[in-house]
């Protein structure tokens, strides 16, 4: 299991390179890879920062795209922070960003925390 967001990004990068053979133009566009790595970073960072720690992580390529599962120790659902348009708040952008960059995202709660599953299209 990755020890931090950088290690999780490395797992995803390796998976994409193994599947698509590296940066030879046959894989996903650079912006798609960047989006996948950003979603990975956000979910893993939030597991550590807000979720009581990362308890599970999987990444796999399916026919529909990159499927990420990030588990943490919190039973609290991710929240969207209401913003004052006149203020310059720090933080709170991750969950809306994840929702925007994924085809879909689901949160499943269980006794020991939750699993967040996200699908990122690779086309």
Q: For residue range 54-98, list pLDDT tens digits in order.
A: 999 999 999 999 999 999 999 998 876 665 666 656 666 789 999
Share of the chain above pLDDT 90, in %: 75
Query: pTM (2 decimals)?
Result: 0.88
Give the CA angle between residues 94, 80, 44 to the nearest 5°.
Answer: 35
Sign of CA dihedral 94, 95, 101, 102: positive
DSSP bridge partners of 58: 69
Structure confidence at residue 23 as a pLDDT band (50, 70, 90): low
Instruction: Report which of residues 79 and 17 the model is more confident about.
Output: 17
């Amino acid at each position: 299991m990755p020890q931090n967001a950088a290690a999780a990004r490395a797992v995803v990068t390796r998976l994409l390179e193994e599947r698509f053979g590296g940066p030879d133009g046959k894989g996903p566009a650079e912006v798609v890879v960047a989006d996948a790595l950003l979603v990975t970073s956000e979910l893993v960072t939030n597991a550590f920062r807000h979720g009581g720690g990362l308890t599970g992580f999987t990444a796999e390529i399916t026919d529909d795209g990159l499927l990420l599962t990030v588990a943490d120790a919190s039973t609290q659902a991710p929240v969207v922070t209401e913003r004052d348009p006149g203020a310059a708040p720090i933080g709170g952008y991750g969950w809306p960003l994840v929702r925007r960059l994924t085809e879909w995202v689901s949160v499943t709660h269980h006794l020991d925390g939750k699993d967040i599953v996200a699908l990122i299209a690779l086309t």
